[in-house]
Structure 1
Amino acid sequence: MDTREWRDTIAAAQAGDRQALDELVAGWLPLVYNIVGRALNGHADVDDVVQETMLRAVDNLGSLRDPDSFRSWLVAIAMRQIRDRARRRTAAAPLDESAAGGAADFAELTVLRLQLEGQRREVAEAVRWLDDEDRQLLSLWWLEVAGELTRRELAAAAGISRQHAAVRVQRLKERVETARGIVRALDGACPDLRETTARWNGRPDSVWRKRLARHIRGCGYCGDTHETVVPAERLLVGIALVPLPVGFTLSLALGGKTAAAAAGAASVGWSAKVMAALTQPVVAVTAGATIVAGGAYVVVQPSDDPPPRAVSSPTAASTARPPAAPSPTATPSPSPSPTQQRKIDLYGTVVDAVDAAPDPNAKPAALPHRPESGITSSWGPKAVMQHRGETVDLSGQGYVLVRWQIAPQDRSGGLAMPTWTGLKGRLFHVASGGGRRMDDATGPDTTGMGGPATGYTVLPDGTQQMWQNEYFYLDGSVSLTVNERGASYGLTVFPSTWEAADKDINYGPPQGAVRYGLVRDTGKDTAPVPQYVTRAKPADPATVAQRSRV
């Protein structure tokens, strides 16, 4: 389901649509389960916290004003439930940690369900050695790196500023690397370490973490890694959500469920708090919703009817997840009606077909010269944007150069394209230059799409291959945002001129470049517009559809 469909589903659920509410709960349950499960590392309380999160979300759905902010709103609710649970445990008498023995260790669940090996397995197992507060942040950062959350959503859920989030995440990375070293050492054959751990009960805690880290720092055997240690964020790129375990059951009383029916659900081990909530109206919907995971099964029925029998599918859980690929959706927007066309004043074309690289020696067509009065940039003469969420605001009439720098050696994987939002006026994609397309450069060349030694940067299906220099013509105003969440990349944005663009695209192979540039401008309103452009201003710019219409 694409972003537009999720937005429609949320709106329908708020209006009382029973099926839409079930789809909403089923679609986002895996994300909540992964956040809570990783934050609590599979403690027996995971199910209760997940259920309380979903109940609160359903109960307060009507208060959500902006459907685009649903994900960050839901994640914030989950984090509040996690913190509330921690405060309750602190206030109460210390609990016997062995009570968690019946619950699945989330690190082990991650390894088994996602079939992680090597250093990816090492990162998952390192979670056991983190303190509760670090695990809470890791539950968000892991999903950020995997492309499920944005840095803005991470900061909002943690209740801190984006600048503070950057500091916290950096410290977390250092602790994760320390924990990875411990996991690696315990898998080794150091005789001194075996003697050191002779009295250890095998349960990770802060005392033994410090003791083992001290040993590793002073041990030539444990400190000598026999392979290159890949940074954790590169290992986590594109890792899917851990599927819900078989037997996980979530039931929401959506209006008419009786106390007796709710009491019957207590046999699956729900908390008294959840049992009480199940007897109360949640939203103005008269239905019962049941999701059985290990497969995801959703049923809607009047409260007086017996529930039909669920048939679980082994793979359904992964298909029920929300759209969190490391890139904006590639699903085309539906064609507007004639009335909508008159209101929107459509112009230009969208580059829907991925074009092949032209002959390197083929000179470009003449570049039409459009009127220029100059472009103003919120970053001044040069905007160097290296991090997700960084935005440059452009306005005026003239040419804009966007220079790409892709760094698969830093972090490979799926590339989340930058997006143009809040467009007023006209924006055209007029030319491509720089002497090469990004797929011209491979291997050690850091401007290219990567190679076997570094990993590959992969575009979303249907996305045009970008050139090193991309030229656009703006007559109005627009914002350009970096949505980096999988593969690492940066953009440098310059106000430019027709003369500079014309000179660039004609700088071809005779002067040593890989190829001449390419002219895309027709000189008319039929010239192509960029992919990923919209007149709207979504809360998350990464949600802009690939084949937008403007």
Structure 2
Amino acid sequence: MDGRQWRATIAAAQAGDRRALDELVEGWLPLVYNIVGRALNGHADVDDVVQETMLRAVDNLGSLRDPDSFRSWLVAIAMRQIRDRARRKSADRLTEDVAHDAADFAELTVLRLQLEGQRREVAEAVRWLDDEDRQLLSLWWLEVAGELSRRELADAVGINRQHAAVRVQRMKARLETARGIVRALDGACPELRELTGRWDGRPDSVWRKRFARHIRGCAYCAEPGRAVVPAERLLVGLALVPVPVGFTLSLVFGGKTAVAATATATTVGWSAKFLGALTQPAVAVTAGATFVAGGAYVVTQTPDAPPPRAAAPTAASTARLPSSTPSAPTPSVSPSSSPSPTRTKKADPYGTVVDAVDKAPDPDTEPAALPRRPASGVTSSGGAHATMNHRGDSVTLQGQGYVLVRWQISPQYRAGSLVMPSWTGLKGKLFHVASGGGRRMDDPVSSTDTSATGMGNATTGYAVLPSGTQQMWQNEYFYVDGEVTLTVNERGADYGLNVFPSTWDKVEEDVRSGPPDGTTRYGLVRDTGKDNAPVPQYLTRATPADPATVPQRSRV
């Protein structure tokens, strides 16, 4: 729903329309659940606080004068309930209760959003924050993820925006300290192992200070050469943690019982801004439903529904295949074996098109138009400019956007057969969208020597691609929507890769650069804008011990 539709829904709910009230509850329950869950770190009281928040919101909806302020008003109610609950509980009782929790919210965040690497590190670091910092982080996390504005964050805490900025900066500093603790505890420092021998395993402020003091003075744990991505870049566009299976919300109060008609529990992170997409029947079938009996919302989920991911609410995103689905057999079905007109009109499932060897286009042939895909930003474990020169060097890319892989082939140092780099551990989708850089690797060295390729010469020798491998330009562009790791498998010919997060504008400018001459050419646009766009060769969802063993035909 857009803002105008939400205002109309709120006005209808205030006038007593039960269907409109249902839409408010089903749309905003996930946001409240994430705020409360993260603030209380999954404590057993989360359900009660969420229940009380929604009850108070619905019961006092008539007092809301400005529908545009509904979200900040609802968030403020949630924060008041969190603080009220803290005042009611003693510190000793809280510690006792936490010890009996089956899984904290940090664990739920990691499992349900399938977080890995530094994103997982941020989620686990939340355990080390004090209650006040966790409450603020529960709002800031959603601000960075695009679910709240800074104004709404400040209103919920009850301070102005300037004060909120100071509070957030202090909280972020303590979060970075906690991230360092998580990294160190995953390491193999012998002194830290000795220190943890006296630790009961529960994160608290005393041990946080002890571990932080050790890390500051330990060259091993401090990891001075490690590239640490700022937390806000890791959280951009991250989905809400879906409401858990079996969660029950009872809203029975004097004739105002909300009764849901149809809703989903798992699609696109349960974000209210995607509610319009959630009401589509095709989505509801694949995602699950919310059934109602006696005024109680019971969230269910189909057993083999894939975990949610942050993605645009498109038909393609709701039809995403689980990573365990085999990709090779299905695409090989010939058109003659599928006579149904409705089936032949469907776009190819993701992974059916693997880049094949193409003939070099004429340098004077301008590339096709480059489709514009959504881009919220890509983070790289190697930073803004990752350089990989040796076998085993790798970089992990996360997010949604364009990436440049620039080739540096050096036959003057070592010629021979290239062992191609591989893409492993794919979560989501990866497309080979364009090629540029003004030069293709098999272009003639000069206009007079048309028999020699651009990857060497008769004196130094040549770098040779494996048979059937896609020929490369100096710059190869890819589009990431999820997470993937690129690894250099250098063994024969000498080469290096430079990896940069990029933008649509830069890709478009590169592939259209000119004017062409004997050694400079236009680039090539490969992207169709659909799921049948090429995917890179040597791509797999698996994470093999030796990435060089990834087969040439992609496995996605």
Deviation, structure 1 residue 310: 8.0
- Asked if the contact 2:22–2:258 (Cα under 8 Å) also holds between the matched residues in 1, the reply is no
1:94 to 92, 95, 100: 92
2:12 matches 1:9:
no
Q: Which residue of 2 aligns with 1:169?
A: 168
Give a deviation string over 1:33-52, Cα, whole Å, max 9, x none.
11111001011111111110
Superposed CA RMSD: 4.9
Q: Which residue of 2 aligns with 1:246?
A: 245
* TM-score normalized with structure 2 length: 0.52
Q: Which residue of 1 aligns with 2:84?
A: 84
AA aligned to 1:24 is L
- Asked if the contact 1:32–1:78 (Cα under 8 Å) also holds between the matched residues in 2, the reply is yes
Q: Which residue of 1 aligns with 2:191?
A: 192
Deviation, structure 1 residue 94: 2.9
**For residues 457 and 22 of structure 1, what CA distance do their matches in structure 2 show?**
42
AA aligned to 1:234 is R
**Could you say what secondary structure the match of 2:57 adopts?**
helix
Question: Within 5 Å, which residues of 2 pair with 1:238-387?
Answer: 238-256=237-255, 283=256, 297-299=289-291, 312-313=301-302
Unmatched 5+ residue regions in structure 2? 267-286, 314-365, 367-376, 385-396, 402-435, 438-478, 481-485, 487-497, 507-512, 516-556
Greater relative CO, 1 or 2 (CA 8 Å, sep 6+): 1
Question: Within 5 Å, which residues of 2 pair with 1:14-163?
Answer: 14-89=14-89, 92=90, 94-95=92-93, 97-103=95-101, 104-163=103-162
- Asked if the contact 1:129–1:179 (Cα under 8 Å) also holds between the matched residues in 2, the reply is yes
AA aligned to 2:246 is G
**For residues 301 and 13 of structure 1, what CA distance do their matches in structure 2 show?**
20
Deviation, structure 1 residue 240: 0.5
Question: Structure 1 residues 286 and 139 mapped into 2: Cα distance closer, same or farther (>3 Å)?
Answer: closer
Question: Structure 1 residues 65 and 300 mapped into 2: Cα distance closer, same or farther (>3 Å)?
Answer: farther
AA aligned to 1:209 is R
**For residues 107 and 162 of structure 1, what CA distance do their matches in structure 2 show?**
27
**Could you say what secondary structure the match of 2:249 adopts?**
strand
Deviation, structure 1 residue 225: 4.5
- Asked if the contact 2:122–2:179 (Cα under 8 Å) also holds between the matched residues in 1, the reply is yes
Question: Structure 1 residues 311 and 53 mapped into 2: Cα distance closer, same or farther (>3 Å)?
Answer: closer
Deviation, structure 1 residue 97: 1.9
**For residues 145 and 308 of structure 1, what CA distance do their matches in structure 2 show?**
29
**For residues 315 and 70 of structure 1, what CA distance do their matches in structure 2 show?**
35
Question: Structure 1 residues 9 and 199 mapped into 2: Cα distance closer, same or farther (>3 Å)?
Answer: same
**Could you say what secondary structure the match of 2:92 adopts?**
coil
Question: Structure 1 residues 139 and 455 mapped into 2: Cα distance closer, same or farther (>3 Å)?
Answer: farther
Question: Within 5 Å, which residues of 2 pair with 1:395-544?
Answer: 456=501
**For residues 78 and 312 of structure 2, what CA distance do their matches in structure 1 show?**
22
**For residues 317 and 56 of structure 1, what CA distance do their matches in structure 2 show?**
34
Give a deviation string over 1:321-353, Cα, whole Å, max 9, x none.
9xx9899xxxxxxxxxxxxxxxxxxxxxxxxxx
Question: Structure 1 residues 216 and 239 mapped into 2: Cα distance closer, same or farther (>3 Å)?
Answer: same
Deviation, structure 1 residue 6: 2.4
**For residues 173 and 305 of structure 2, what CA distance do their matches in structure 1 show?**
36
**For residues 407 and 239 of structure 1, what CA distance do their matches in structure 2 show?**
12
- Asked if the contact 2:21–2:258 (Cα under 8 Å) also holds between the matched residues in 1, the reply is no
* TM-score normalized with structure 1 length: 0.52
Question: Structure 1 residues 407 and 106 mapped into 2: Cα distance closer, same or farther (>3 Å)?
Answer: closer
AA aligned to 2:66 is D
- Asked if the contact 1:119–1:230 (Cα under 8 Å) also holds between the matched residues in 2, the reply is yes
- Asked if the contact 1:148–1:326 (Cα under 8 Å) also holds between the matched residues in 2, the reply is no
Deviation, structure 1 residue 230: 0.7
Q: Which residue of 2 aligns with 1:366?
A: none
**For residues 201 and 509 of structure 1, what CA distance do their matches in structure 2 show?**
65
Give a deviation string over 1:205-261, Cα, whole Å, max 9, x none.
0000001100000011111255311111111111100111112111211544xxxxx
Give a deviation string over 1:45-95, Cα, whole Å, max 9, x none.
111111101111111111112222111111111111111111112xx5730
AA aligned to 1:230 is V
Deviation, structure 1 residue 302: 8.2
**For residues 292 and 67 of structure 1, what CA distance do their matches in structure 2 show?**
24
Question: Structure 1 residues 80 and 289 mapped into 2: Cα distance closer, same or farther (>3 Å)?
Answer: farther
Question: Structure 1 residues 317 and 247 mapped into 2: Cα distance closer, same or farther (>3 Å)?
Answer: farther
Give a deviation string over 1:453-472, Cα, whole Å, max 9, x none.
786577xxxxxx889xxxxx
Question: Structure 1 residues 296 and 155 mapped into 2: Cα distance closer, same or farther (>3 Å)?
Answer: farther
Deviation, structure 1 residue 98: 3.3
**For residues 250 and 509 of structure 1, what CA distance do their matches in structure 2 show?**
62
**For residues 168 and 291 of structure 1, what CA distance do their matches in structure 2 show?**
37
**Could you say what secondary structure the match of 2:251 adopts?**
strand
- Asked if the contact 1:217–1:223 (Cα under 8 Å) also holds between the matched residues in 2, the reply is yes
Identity rate of aligned residues, in percent? Answer: 70
**For residues 38 and 213 of structure 1, what CA distance do their matches in structure 2 show?**
23
**Could you say what secondary structure the match of 1:94 adopts?**
helix
**For residues 184 and 108 of structure 1, what CA distance do their matches in structure 2 show?**
16
AA aligned to 2:47 is D
Question: Structure 1 residues 185 and 12 mapped into 2: Cα distance closer, same or farther (>3 Å)?
Answer: same
- Asked if the contact 2:13–2:21 (Cα under 8 Å) also holds between the matched residues in 1, the reply is yes
- Asked if the contact 1:296–1:317 (Cα under 8 Å) also holds between the matched residues in 2, the reply is no
- Asked if the contact 2:249–2:297 (Cα under 8 Å) also holds between the matched residues in 1, the reply is no
**Could you say what secondary structure the match of 1:116 adopts?**
coil
**For residues 454 and 10 of structure 1, what CA distance do their matches in structure 2 show?**
48
Deviation, structure 1 residue 3: 3.0
Q: Which residue of 2 aligns with 1:504?
A: none
- Asked if the contact 1:123–1:180 (Cα under 8 Å) also holds between the matched residues in 2, the reply is yes
- Asked if the contact 2:247–2:299 (Cα under 8 Å) also holds between the matched residues in 1, the reply is no
AA aligned to 2:226 is E
- Asked if the contact 1:146–1:240 (Cα under 8 Å) also holds between the matched residues in 2, the reply is yes
**Could you say what secondary structure the match of 1:95 adopts?**
helix
Question: Structure 1 residues 218 and 314 mapped into 2: Cα distance closer, same or farther (>3 Å)?
Answer: same
- Asked if the contact 1:288–1:299 (Cα under 8 Å) also holds between the matched residues in 2, the reply is yes
AA aligned to 1:18 is R
